[in-house]
Structure 1
Amino acid sequence: MASIVEIKRGFGVRWKGVVRRAGVPTQVAYFDVRDDAEEWVRVVDNDARERQNEIKRQQALDALRERSRNEHRTFGDVLHRYLIEIVPHKRGADVEATRIKAFLKTPISKILVESLTQAHFAAWRDARLRSVGGSTVNRDLTILSHVIRVARAEWDVQLSRNPLHNFRKPKSNPPRERRLSPDEEVALLNACAETRNRHVVPVIVLALETAMRMGEIVHLDWSRIDLERQSAYLSETKTGVPRGVPLSTRAVEILVRLGVRNRGRVFRGLTENALRHAYARAVERAGIKNLTFHDLRHEATSRIVEKGLTMLEVATITGHKDLRMLQRYTHLRTQDLAKKLG
C-alpha cells in the first residue's frame, strides 16, 4: 500500500511518502512539494510491486519444481512453469502473461502433457474461434508451440513430437483499414486527458506522430532520444531489429512537456497492460467505435504515406521488414497521383 501524509509544522507543510508491500521493506521519504511526493510514491511503489512479484514468482517456481518431480505432469504445469521462467524475459511479457493465464483456464491445461495430440489442440482452436478471429488464434498457437518446444528441449518433457508441427491454422483476418477522423482524434485526446494516468495523452500523440507500436513507445528511453536531431532510437522492437525513428515537431513538443531527463524510461512505471486498459476506457468515454490502439499505427503510417515519402522511406520509419506489408497503403499514393493528373 502506498500513501502520502501531510505533516503540518509551525513554519510550513511537508509531505511524507510511505510505501508498504508484504515481503518488501517499508520505504519512507519526506518532500516539500506534494507533486514530488506523488511521483516518488508512484515510482517506488512500482519497484516494490515488481520485487514482491519476483518473490512470489520464485516461491511458485520452487513449488512447481517440487511438483515436477512427479512423473506425470499436466499441460497446465508446463504452462505455469513457462509463465514463471520464460515469459518475464520476453518483450511484451505482461501481454503474453495474460494469454498464458487464459490458457490455464481452458480444459486443455488439465490434460497430461505426454498425452497431448493434435486433436486436443484442434478442439481448443475451434472453441477459441467462436469468440475471436483467426489472427488472434494464430498468435495463441505460436505461443503454445513455443511452450512445447521449450518443454521438450529444456525440461525433459516426454513428447515424441510437437503436436503443433504442421498443425492446420485458421485464416488470418484481413488487414484493418480503420482511419481516425479529425473529430475522433480530438474526442480521443480529450477523453485521455480525463484519465488518472498522465502518460496516456503523450503516448497517443507519439503513436500518431511516429507510427511506433505500443511496446516500442512504452519502452522508450531518454538515453536513446536526441531532441536536437529530432530522432529516437528503438533498441526493443517487435521484429528484433533496432531502428531510428524521426520525431516531428509535435512529437518533440510532447516529449519536452514530459520533462527531459538524461536516462531512464520516458514513461516510468507504465506497462502495456495498463496502457491498453486506460486506452480502452478512454475510447469508450469518447464514444468512438471499433478503434484499437494498433489502428493508431495504421493511421500514422497512412499520414506518412500521404506526405509523399517513398515506400522504402516509410518502411524505414515504421520498421516493416517486408515492403509487401505496405501494399495496403498504395491506394493512398494512387489518389495523390490522380489529383496531380487533374
Structure 2
Amino acid sequence: MYKRDGIWWTCIRHRGRKIQRSLETKNKKLAESIEAKLRTELIEGKYFDKYEGDLKTFKDLMERFMKEHAPKVSLNMQKSYTTSAKHLLSFFGDLSLLAITPKKVNDYKVSRKNLGKKPATINKELAMLSKAFCLAVKEWEWIRDNPASKISKEKEANERDRWLSDDEEKRLLENSPEWLSDIIVFDLHTGLRQDELLSLTWDRVDLFRKVIIIQESKNGKPRTIPLNQISLDILMEKTKVRSLKGDFVFPSSVMTKMNRRNLVRAFDIAKEKASIQNFHFHDVRHCFATRLAQRGVDIYRISKLLGHLNITMTQRYAHHCPESLRGGIEVLEKVDYNLTTVEVNRNVSTA
C-alpha cells in the first residue's frame, strides 16, 4: 500500500494482471481491510467479474461525463453535448448501464430517425454516447463493453462544396455594408469558423508576427493562423478606429460580441441583393479551402489552416488539386536517367 494525496492506494499483481486503485480512505487500518478483501476476491476469481455498472444508471453516466470530460473540449462541443444529453436522457433515463445493450442503442437510433432527425444529428448523439461508454469501460471500470461501439453510423449526404465565383464575390461585397464586407473578406483569407470570427479579440492578434491565435477551436486545441497582406490590412485599418470599450475585433454596434443571428441576417440580405443562390455564411470558409486547393496548396496544409482534427475531414477538397497532384509526380523527373545506357545494358544481359 502507499499514500497519494493523503489517500491510501494499493498495487497488487495477480497471475500477470496488475490492479492499481484507490482504497478511498485515509485510515490505514480500514485501507488494510479493504486491500485484504480485494486479495480474497482475486484468489476466489470474483474480482474481475465485478463491475460498478450494475449499481449505476444512465443518468449517473451522463452526470460524470458532463462533469469530467465535457470541460476538456471546446465551448461549441460543450453546447453540442448539452443538447445531445437531453435527448439521450429522455430515452435511456434511469436504466441500469448493464441493461443498455446494442439493441437498445439501435432502438434509440431508429426512434430519432422516425422523428425526422438528420443523419448528422443522430451521428453526433451516437458519438457522444459511445465516448461516454468508452470512458466507463476504460477509465472508470463501470462496465465491461461499450454497447454503442457496435452500432453503425448513419450515412451522411449533407457535405457542401459551394464556393463563390469571382463575379459573385464582387457582387456580394458591393451589396454589403462596410462592417460586413470586412468580415467576409477577412474570412475568405483566414477560413475561420463563424464563432471563431465573432469571438476573436485583440489580445489574440499579433500584428508584428502577422498571426492570429484561435484559442477555442472546435476540436478543443488552439491554433495559430498566419495573415496575408489582405487580412493584415483589414486589421490595421480596424486598429485606427478601435474602441477602448471592448476587445472584440469584429464587435456589435455597442462593442459587445456580435450576435450570430445579426450577422447571418445581414449576410442573407446582402446575398439576396447580389442575386446569389444556395450560399450560406459557413460556405465562405469552404471558399477559402477550395481556393487554396485550386491554387495548388496541399491537403495537409489546408487541413492545418482549417483546424481539422484529421485530414479525412479535408478530403472533400482533394478533387480541386489536380495541378498539386501533378507537381507531386513531376518531382520524379529530377532523377537523371541515361536511357541509352539502360537500353545497352538490357541488350547485353539478354544476349
TM-score range, shorter chain: 0.5 to 0.7
Contact 1:210 1:247 in 2 (8 A): yes
Whether 1:222 and 2:202 are equivalent positions in the alignment is: yes
Q: Which residue of 1 aligns with 2:133?
A: 148
Letter in 1 for 2:109: R
Contact 1:202 1:255 in 2 (8 A): no
| Equivalent pairs, count | 260
- Partner deviation per Cα, 1:96-146 (whole Å, 9 max, x = no partner): 244235425642335344421212221221233353443332222221222
Whether 1:135 and 2:120 are equivalent positions in the alignment is: yes
Q: How does 1:19-168 map to 2 (within 5 A)?
A: 74-91=57-74, 92-103=76-87, 106-109=90-93, 111-130=95-114, 131-151=116-136, 158-168=142-152
- Take 1:252 and 1:304, find their aligned partners in 2: how far apart are those partners? 18
Contact 2:187 2:284 in 1 (8 A): yes
Q: Which residue of 1 aligns with 2:224?
A: 244
Question: What is the Cα deviation at residue 245 of structure 1?
Answer: 2.0
Letter in 1 for 2:305: I
Q: 1:334 to 1:79 in 2, by over 3 A?
A: same
SS in 2 for 1:232: strand
Q: 1:84 to 1:322 in 2, by over 3 A?
A: closer
Contact 1:235 1:242 in 2 (8 A): yes
The one of 209, 212, 225 equivalent to 1:232 is 212
Q: 1:281 to 1:219 in 2, by over 3 A?
A: closer
Question: What is the Cα deviation at residue 210 of structure 1?
Answer: 0.9
Whether 1:213 and 2:193 are equivalent positions in the alignment is: yes
Alignment RMSD, CA only?
Answer: 4.4
- Take 1:202 and 1:121, find their aligned partners in 2: how far apart are those partners? 47
- Take 2:84 and 2:312, find their aligned partners in 1: how far apart are those partners? 31
Contact 2:213 2:223 in 1 (8 A): yes
Q: Which residue of 2 aligns with 1:18?
A: none
- Take 1:239 and 1:267, find their aligned partners in 2: how far apart are those partners? 23
Instruction: State the TM-score, normalized to the length of structure 2.
Output: 0.56
The one of 269, 285, 288 equivalent to 1:300 is 288
Q: Which residue of 1 aligns with 2:336?
A: none
Question: What is the Cα deviation at residue 300 of structure 1?
Answer: 0.8
Contact 2:293 2:317 in 1 (8 A): yes
If you compute each CA radius of gyration, which structure gives the higher value, 1 or 2?
2
Q: 1:155 to 1:334 in 2, by over 3 A?
A: closer
- Take 2:154 and 2:166, find their aligned partners in 1: how far apart are those partners? 36
SS in 2 for 1:137: helix
Letter in 2 for 1:249: Q
- Take 1:324 and 1:114, find their aligned partners in 2: how far apart are those partners? 34
Q: Which residue of 2 aligns with 1:175?
A: 159
Contact 1:188 1:282 in 2 (8 A): no
Of stretches 281-290 and 112-121 in structure 1, the one that deviates more from structure 2 is 281-290
Contact 2:73 2:219 in 1 (8 A): no
Letter in 2 for 1:227: L
The one of 279, 301, 317 equivalent to 1:329 is 317
SS in 1 for 2:83: helix
Contact 1:74 1:111 in 2 (8 A): yes
Letter in 2 for 1:255: L
Q: Which residue of 2 aligns with 1:48?
A: none
Letter in 1 for 2:227: L
- Partner deviation per Cα, 1:206-233 (whole Å, 9 max, x = no partner): 3322113345445545344322443224
Percent of residue pairs identical: 28
- Take 1:296 and 1:310, find their aligned partners in 2: how far apart are those partners? 19
Q: 1:239 to 1:90 in 2, by over 3 A?
A: closer
- Take 1:135 and 1:104, find their aligned partners in 2: how far apart are those partners? 15
SS in 1 for 2:147: coil
Q: 1:328 to 1:93 in 2, by over 3 A?
A: closer
Q: 1:86 to 1:270 in 2, by over 3 A?
A: farther
Q: 1:153 to 1:231 in 2, by over 3 A?
A: same
- Take 1:144 and 1:183, find their aligned partners in 2: how far apart are those partners? 45
Letter in 2 for 1:168: S
